[in-house]
Amino acid sequence: MPSRIDAQIDKPAGEAEALLSALNERLCLALEASRQVAFDWFIAEDRLHFSGVFSDDLKALMLDTSRVWTSRDLPAVIHPEDRALFRGRLHQALKGQDSRSEAYYQVELRMKDALCSWRWVNVAGRIVERDDAGRARRMVGTFSDIEHRKQAEHKNAQLLGSEQFKSAILTAAPDCIVSIDGCGKIISFNQAAEQTFGYRSEDVLGCDLADIIIPPEWRQQHRQGVERVLATGESTLLNRRIELTAMRADGSSFPVELAVVALQVQGERMFTAFIRDISHSKRSQAMLKDSAVRYRQLVELSPEATFVYRNGKIALFNQAASRLLGVRDPAGLMGRSMFDFIHPDHHPLYHERARLTPQEAQPTPFLEQVWLRADGTAFDAEIGATNLIYNGKPSVQVVVRDITERKRAEALQLGQNQILNMVATGASLPEILHAIALFVEKQSGRGLCSILLCNGDGTALVDRVAPSLPASFREQARDMRIGPCQCSCGTAAFRGEPVIVTDIASDPLWASWRELAIEHGLKACTSWPIIGKNRKVLGTFALYFKESAAPAKTDLQLFGICTNLAGIAIESRVSEERIRYLAHYDGLTSLPNRFLFKEYLDLALRNARRHANKFAVLFLDLDRFKEINDTLGHDAGDLVLREMARRLRDCLRHTDKIARMGGDEFYVLIEELDDGRYAADVAQKLVEAAARPVCIGGREHSLSASIGIAIYPDDGSDGQMLLKNADKAMYRAKDMGKNAFQSFSPLKPRPAPSPAHANTCRLS
């Protein structure tokens, strides 16, 4: 989106010039109000331009803004003592030594001034353009007047050097300041020392310091230290803070912090001791130390991973925390950044907590986050944060729980529910298996899933579902034989147990498929058989890896769940197919049943009416079948029905339909009928096929068939009428001696009829 200024400049030329003029005028006013002059230095051409109108303070500077300057011109107007500093800072800016982006480079120096000879200014600039090689091409910045500030600093320096100022500081100092001469005699004793030690200054001047503030048991050691300093000029006490025990005028002892510095005043050596009563801080430190010890003990004994961090650094942690992060050397955690172990998406919460005091912050309810172990692996965590004071400083305590297993269990349960819902709502088997494969790949995070189904006779694995395997691999490995050395999947289906191959390049099971797998970057494969309720192998479930490795424990658990899901899906669809099959087919003979035959008949009626065609319906009943059932049993009767069904089916064209009505009755539908005599020919074949002996238990038994024929539209205009009339014709054939066929109405003769094709045909 264009800025407001861009939008205003995008106007006619006259208006744009007026606008730029106004903007320039406002810029000059702003620079003048802030006592600044802007510059723009084109480095490659060494052209230096100044902008703005000088304020009254800067007008006397020897900078002519009406002309173009060069960098070589500036040293002439800079104080000689400041030129080296100016060149050094300029060199630093041009080299880009500051790693920050858009860094400003500043230098304070004196420039020629007509009023005060030299005027202090601050030069601030920023490189705004570099070439491809990183060389500076352009710098912009300002010259700012700092003369008044420098004068104030000089005045303050003079004030600080005055004796009156030093005396006031000495008197008002909250710490004890005691000065001694080279012999250890007190020569000054400030007001704070009087209040702390209980002496008046005039009472201790000229006294030995050791006799006044050092307990008797330490005085001899103190005197020896003073003598050593006088002899060698060195001491471990000089110029450092130490803690020791001092004594008040009433003889009571108390802890102090002491710092001693050596001075030379008018050629004489003297020492000044800065003494601070630390009784209160010692008591506080003792309390804090005791509190910190108890807190550390509680943290260490806690079974939950606990961290305390301050300024983003770990200040305390327990063993549970080091185990959680997988740190072998727990000492390596101390002082490390907390953010090394927290996913970047969750850093803002910790920055916000760190800015709050314990009084301002309420404990954070447990939140779910992603943390990182020492090796960089991520895990799901639940954290609670509390602000506290630890070792006297504001800190944040974080309790961390590893909820990876809980989240994984929730994801597994959710995935199972979704897949089972697909099974329950009638999703197709390929859709369900595809969802299972994607679910496995998401949970595993490193494997490529493949699901194969067994073919009808259980000799091969077909219909691969593998959304992430390379398409060319899926195409070339479409079908896989089931056998003892047929990769992971074929072998798993053959054995009926899991097969784990950690290195395809060397495992003998992959001898015939090794080159294909390696060509597609597949280096390991674990396969599980999908087992049905009756222990039948339904297919295989596999996970391919692009590195030579065994599946993780979580992968194996995932396999167990998903093979069960796949088995449920496959068997549910098989059951549905079986139900649909039984609804339309006869379970004994596998022929269509009366319901499916009715659909065939309705379709034939619609086609015949549309195209004015004829078709025939045959009603066939086996003669003497009851005798087989009664004498040889129902098993023998079933064998006869299956054999008759096969024979009758073989007598028909593939377009003709045959169905078992129940018992020993069959329907036949013959479409595309040119004339009724073709129906008679088919009926004759069926009678002959039924008359052939059937072998039962090693003995041959003879049956026959009686058939009735009805022709559309001659013998009926709807299905019910055709079946009824075919039934009547069949009973006429039975009445005339069985083993024959009859048509409901006379069949029209062919031009040259043959005696064998009479309306009634009987076989002796």
Confidence of residue 607 (pLDDT cuts 50, 70, 90): very high
When pLDDT is averaged across residues 657-663 and rounded to a whole number, the result is 91
Fold match between domain 161-277 and domain 407-572: yes
Residue 115: is its pLDDT beyond 80? no
Q: How far apart are CA 654 and CA 743, in angstroms?
A: 23
In this structure, what are the phi and psi dihedrals at residue 307, rounded to the nearest 5 degrees? -125, 150
The β-bridge partners of 540 are 452, 529
Cα–Cα separations (whole angstroms), residue 756 to 652, 729, 760: 20, 19, 9
Task: Name the percent of the chain in helix, strand, coil, to the closest 5.
Answer: 45, 30, 30
When pLDDT is averaged across residues 187-203 and rounded to a whole number, the result is 90
pLDDT at res. 579: 66
What value does the mean pLDDT of the chain take? 83
Token pair for residue 728? 């009547």
User: Please, what CATH class does the domain formed by 585-762 belong to?
Assistant: alpha beta
Cα–Cα separations (whole angstroms), residue 280 to 196, 287, 362, 721: 13, 11, 31, 117
Q: Which helix (H) or strand (E) segment is 525 a member of?
A: strand 524-531
Residue 754: is its pLDDT beyond 60? no
pLDDT at res. 755: 45
Per-residue pLDDT tens digits for 638-654: 999 999 999 999 999 98
Q: Smallest Cα–Cα separation from 741: which of 631, 657, 666, 638?
A: 666
8 Å CB contact between 370 and 400: no
Q: How far apart are CA 452 and CA 538, in angstroms?
A: 9
Q: How far apart are CA 432 and CA 465, in angstroms?
A: 10
Domain ranges of the chain: 34-148, 161-277, 290-398, 407-572, 585-762
8 Å CB contact between 436 and 451: yes
pLDDT at res. 68: 86
The β-bridge partners of 7 are none
CATH T-level topology, domain 161-277: Beta-Lactamase (3.30.450)
Per-residue pLDDT tens digits for 667-711: 999 998 877 788 999 999 999 999 999 998 888 888 999 999 999
At what angle are helices 429-444 and 404-424 packed, to 10 degrees? Answer: 170
SS3 256: strand
Burial, 755: exposed, middle or buried (Cβ in 10 Å; 0-12, 13-18, 19+)? exposed
Residue 97: is its pLDDT beyond 70? no
pLDDT at res. 5: 42
Residue 444: is its pLDDT beyond 50? yes
pLDDT at res. 9: 44
Least confident segment among 146-150, 227-231, 365-369: 227-231
Cα–Cα separations (whole angstroms), residue 265 to 32, 137, 179, 181, 206: 50, 56, 12, 10, 17
Q: What is the DSSP letter of 676?
A: H
Q: How far apart are CA 83 and CA 87, in angstroms?
A: 6
Sheet of strand 657-662: strand arrangement: 657-662, 665-673, 614-623, 704-712, 740-743, 761-762
pLDDT at res. 233: 65
Residue 268: is its pLDDT beyond 60? yes
Residue 603: is its pLDDT beyond 90? yes
When pLDDT is averaged across residues 558-576 and rounded to a whole number, the result is 81
Q: Which helix (H) or strand (E) segment is 20 a member of?
A: helix 13-33
pLDDT at res. 4: 44
Higher-pLDDT residue of 601, 15: 601
Q: Beta strand pairing status for 136-145 and 117-130?
A: antiparallel
Please tell us whether the domain made up of 290-398 is placed in CATH 3.30.300.30: no
Higher-pLDDT residue of 233, 668: 668
Per-residue pLDDT tens digits for 487-546: 999 999 999 999 999 999 999 999 988 999 999 999 999 999 998 888 889 899 999 999
Amino acid at 579: I
When pLDDT is averaged across residues 55-62 and rounded to a whole number, the result is 67
Find the largest Cα–Cα distance for the chain.
Answer: 164
Per-residue pLDDT tens digits for 3-57: 444 444 455 555 655 555 555 555 555 555 556 788 889 988 889 888 766 666 6
When pLDDT is averaged across residues 414-439 and rounded to a whole number, the result is 88
Residue 657: is its pLDDT beyond 90? yes
CATH of domain 407-572: 3.30.450.40
8 Å CB contact between 741 and 680: yes
The β-bridge partners of 37 are 143
In this structure, is the dihedral angle defined by the CA atoms of residues 324, 328, 331 and 336, taken in order, positive or negative? negative
pLDDT at res. 279: 87
Q: How far apart are CA 296 and CA 334, in angstroms?
A: 14
CATH superfamily assigned to domain 34-148: PAS domain (3.30.450.20)
Q: Beta strand pairing status for 704-712 and 740-743?
A: parallel
Q: How far apart are CA 466 and CA 463, in angstroms?
A: 10
Token pair for residue 689? 């096929």
Cis check for the bond before 358: say yes or no (omega within 30 of 0).
Answer: no
Q: Is 630 left (phi over 0), alpha (psi -120 to 50) or beta?
A: alpha
Q: Smallest Cα–Cα separation from 544: which of 701, 430, 437?
A: 437
Q: How far apart are CA 408 and CA 443, in angstroms?
A: 8
Q: Which helix (H) or strand (E) segment is 532 a member of?
A: none
Confidence (pTM): 0.44
